[in-house]
């Protein structure tokens, strides 16, 4: 399938055509002005008469014909902001365009031009499917603790929260890193460092973004070319009092007159590094600050994920500056991360390569790769259009109370040598049961009595509690998919024959168990994320977002949620959910 991809800005238009994963055409219109613009095709720049975005998009059909590019089957568009409603790519129709338009206050500098491109392209290619891919969607898996600002409730209710950006880039490089390591992205903890004129870091835990350095706007986080990164919000009051600046003036300066430009007089890291090498103290300070801020986020995200498998550098600086990669990675030996000096100096990035540059014995892989946002957009478009339509079908809801899955050594430690659990009530999933025995969980704050044990035994002990339970125990249990136990906290299990301090404590992410037959009928894929509306019979209407689909032969189709989620929905007795949407697979 050939996909035409647009990335529109107020003064530029970038486009590419992808035949499956292969890019067959690349062009860009830049620096629109009264006398035309610069048109770049296949690396060759020439002047062109187009003076604005409308004229540039109108010229695309003739440009494609001139270059012998035919057979376009779909059009993909980059959109900077999708709010909280667009959890994945969306096929564009009038209703979706109206929803995007309503989000303009969240991205007034970016969405308007991108939305203009959408409207113009729909007029030019009315018979082709067109899809919007949002920079923010990848980060909607961030937990509330990563997205919430500690500000008055009225502000939060008005929409003030952290979103994160560069999501298409971070998702692409995480998938590319997993390919390079020969492992599923769903098994890896990756920190993606997108370092360019715009810069951000992203913690990708088992295929999902759990935190990003950018926040409500693309200003927060790392030092950038002309953007400040993290600034004390008290600066607004100080600057108003001391310099008489109003909010629009301060905001404009933070976007356009800050970052490397403010520190060293240039937004181009190459210039800054040349000046630093020549003895410019301001440039030297700028480089030190840039690296320090990036290294600080890298360490914080390793801690947030409870460990680290790979760091990926991308973006103009991340791809091309060996000295900046070195500065950021120096001092991270305590994480088991070391660089190979020779590999770091000249990584070969040709043909979308993703070379590893870590030193011998490094426990953390360090990868450099070119970001390919347009390629990722084309990939997202193909995935969406290839997905079979979902057939409405009720999905039974099962509420899981706190419980434990024990390993064989744990059973012996808690109940005595040679002890075998006594199967009790069978569960709906074939071969699963509730044991007659019970345990006590003990944390630093309190205890949970008579905790159920589920069989059969597992290779590793897993303890599942609700968020409320974790506060009762006094332990911060992370939200995890079942089986993702690395870096999880410990809790004490107490049985009749002894006690055991074990890791594996999680709040289990909501998920749907289903079998291949039901999955095909509902248009679902293993690893996909879906939205589910709980049946109207519940006391309160509730849509569950980002529900993981787990497909396995012999499985009974049902949704598993915990007691906190059931209480939020007012569920009493049997209820059902209905599929309302799907998102991208996580691996």
Which tens digit of pLDDT belongs to each residue from 418-427?
Answer: 999 999 999 9
Task: Compute the distance between CA of residue 544 and CA of residue 397 in angstroms, rounded to an integer.
Answer: 12
pLDDT at 390: 66
| Whether pLDDT at 584 is above 60 | no
* C-beta of residue 475 within 8 angstroms of C-beta of residue 514: no
Torsion 86-88-89-92 (CA) sign: negative
Can you list the domains of the chain with their CATH numbers? 2-134 (3.30.420.40), 167-377 (3.30.420.40), 401-508 (no CATH), 510-582 (2.40.40)
Whole-model pTM: value is: 0.88
pLDDT at 387: 79
Mean pLDDT over 370-378 rounds to: 95
Percentage of the chain surpassing pLDDT 90? 87
pLDDT at 58: 96
pLDDT at 539: 47
Does 135 participate in catalysis according to the annotation? yes
Q: How far is CA 454 from CA 434, 461, 564, in A?
A: 5, 11, 20
With a CB cutoff of 8 Å and minimum separation 6, the contacts of 82 are 90, 100, 103, 132, 134, 135, 136, 137
Per residue in 337-359, pLDDT (tens digit) is: 999 999 999 999 999 999 999 99
Torsion 257-263-264-270 (CA) sign: negative
Q: How far is CA 207 from CA 46, 159, 188, 233, 349, in A?
A: 41, 26, 7, 32, 23
| Whether pLDDT at 249 is above 90 | yes
| Whether pLDDT at 587 is above 50 | no
> What band does 581 get if pLDDT is binned at 50, 70 and 90?
low
Per residue in 455-511, pLDDT (tens digit) is: 999 999 999 999 999 999 999 999 999 999 999 999 999 999 999 999 999 999 999
Closest CA to 161 of 107, 83, 232: 83
Q: Is 171 helix (H, G, I), strand (E, B) or coil?
A: helix
Helix intervals (H) in 346-397: 373-386
Mean pLDDT over 183-210 rounds to: 96
| Whether pLDDT at 47 is above 60 | yes
Looking at per-residue confidence, does 536 or 215 come out higher? Answer: 215
Q: Is 251 helix (H, G, I), strand (E, B) or coil?
A: helix
Residue with tokens 């035409």: 4
Residue with tokens 């409500």: 216
* C-alpha dihedral (228, 234, 239, 241), degrees to nearest 10: 180
Supply 62's token pair: 């003739």
Supply 533's token pair: 């509306």
> What band does 538 get if pLDDT is binned at 50, 70 and 90?
very low
Task: Give the DSSP per-residue string, 268-336.
Answer: -HHHHHHHHHTT-HHHHHHHHHHHHHHHHHHHHHHHHHTS-SEEEEEHHHHHH-HHHHHHHHTT-GGGT
Task: Compute the distance between CA of residue 312 and CA of residue 332 in angstroms, rounded to an integer.
Answer: 15
Query: Catalytic residue among 135, 211, 469, 562, which?
Result: 135
Binding-site residues, please?
Answer: 7, 14, 78, 194-198, 268-270, 316-320, 373
Binding-site residues for Mg(2+), please?
Answer: 7, 373
Mean pLDDT over 516-524 rounds to: 90
pLDDT at 572: 77
Binding-site residues for ATP, please?
Answer: 14, 194-198, 268-270, 316-320
Average pLDDT, whole number, for the chain? 94
With a CB cutoff of 8 Å and minimum separation 6, the contacts of 91 are 129, 130, 131, 384, 385
Q: Is 95 helix (H, G, I), strand (E, B) or coil?
A: helix
pLDDT at 485: 94
Task: Compute the distance between CA of residue 406 and CA of residue 336 in angstroms, rounded to an integer.
Answer: 31
| Whether pLDDT at 292 is above 70 | yes
Mean pLDDT over 549-573 rounds to: 91
19-28, 350-359, 381-390: which range is least confident on average?
Answer: 381-390
Supply 345's token pair: 């100096």
Mean pLDDT over 38-42 rounds to: 95
pLDDT at 578: 87
> What band does 159 get if pLDDT is binned at 50, 70 and 90?
very high
119-133, 209-223, 232-246, 383-397: which range is least confident on average?
Answer: 383-397
């Amino acid at each position: 399938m050939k996909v035409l991809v647009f990335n529109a800005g107020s003064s530029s238009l970038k486009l590419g055509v992808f035949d499956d994963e292969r890019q067959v055409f690349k062009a860009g219109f830049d620096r629109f002005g009264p006398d035309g613009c610069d048109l770049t095709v296949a690396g060759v720049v020439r002047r062109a008469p187009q003076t604005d975005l409308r004229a540039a998009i109108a010229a695309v059909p003739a440009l494609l014909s001139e270059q012998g590019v035919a057979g376009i089957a779909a059009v993909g568009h980059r959109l900077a902001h999708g709010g909280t409603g667009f959890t994945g790519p969306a096929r564009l129709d009038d209703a979706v365009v109206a929803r995007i338009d309503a989000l303009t206050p969240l991205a007034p500098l970016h969405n308007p031009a991108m939305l203009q491109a959408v409207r113009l392209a729909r007029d030019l290619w009315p018979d082709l499917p067109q899809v919007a891919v949002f920079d923010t969607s990848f980060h909607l898996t961030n937990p509330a603790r990563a997205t919430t600002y500690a500000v008055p409730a009225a502000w939060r209710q008005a929409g003030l929260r952290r979103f994160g950006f560069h999501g298409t880039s971070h998702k692409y490089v995480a998938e590319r890193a997993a390919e390079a390591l020969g492992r599923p992205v769903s098994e890896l903890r990756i920190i993606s460092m997108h370092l360019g004129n715009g810069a951000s870091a992203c913690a990708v835990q088992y295929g999902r973004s759990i935190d990003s350095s950018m926040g409500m706007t693309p200003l927060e986080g790392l030092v950038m070319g002309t953007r400040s990164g993290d600034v004390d919000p008290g600066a607004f009051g100080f600057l108003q009092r001391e310099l008489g600046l109003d909010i629009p003036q301060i905001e404009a300066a933070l976007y356009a007159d800050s970052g490397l430009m403010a520190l060293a007089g240039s937004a181009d890291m190459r210039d800054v590094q040349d000046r630093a090498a020549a003895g410019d103290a301001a440039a030297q300070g700028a480089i030190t600050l840039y690296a320090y801020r990036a290294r600080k986020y890298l360490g914080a995200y390793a801690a947030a994920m409870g460990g680290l498998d790979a760091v990926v550098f991308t973006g103009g600086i991340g791809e091309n500056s060996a000295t900046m990669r070195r500065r950021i990675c120096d001092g991270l030996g305590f994480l088991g991360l070391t660089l190979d000096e020779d590999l770091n100096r000249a990584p070969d990035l040709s043909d979308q390569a993703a070379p590893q540059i870590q030193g011998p014995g490094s426990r953390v892989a360090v990868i450099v790769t070119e970001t390919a946002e347009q390629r990722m957009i084309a990939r997202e478009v193909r995935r969406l259009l290839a997905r079979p339509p979902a057939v409405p079908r009720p999905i039974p809801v099962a509420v899981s109370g706190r419980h434990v899955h024990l390993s064989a050594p744990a059973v012996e430690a808690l109940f005595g040598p040679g002890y075998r659990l006594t199967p009790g009530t069978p569960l709906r999933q074939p071969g699963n049961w509730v044991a007659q025995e019970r345990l006590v969980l003990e944390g630093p704050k309190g205890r949970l009595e008579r905790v159920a044990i589920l069989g059969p035994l597992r290779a590793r002990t897993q303890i599942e509690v609700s968020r409320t339970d974790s506060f009762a125990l006094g332990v911060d249990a992370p939200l995890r998919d079942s089986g993702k136990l690395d870096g999880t906290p410990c809790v004490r299990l107490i049985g009749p024959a002894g006690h055991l301090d074990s890791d594996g404590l999680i709040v289990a992410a909501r998920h749907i168990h289903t079998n291949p037959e039901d999955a095909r009928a509902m248009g679902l894929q293993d690893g996909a994320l879906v939205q589910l509306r709980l049946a109207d019979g519940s006391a309160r209407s509730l849509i569950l977002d980002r529900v993981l689909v787990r497909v396995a032969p012999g499985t009974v189709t049902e949704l598993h949620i915990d007691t906190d989620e059931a209480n939020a929905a007012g569920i009493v007795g049997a209820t059902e959910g209905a599929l309302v949407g799907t998102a991208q697979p996580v691996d």
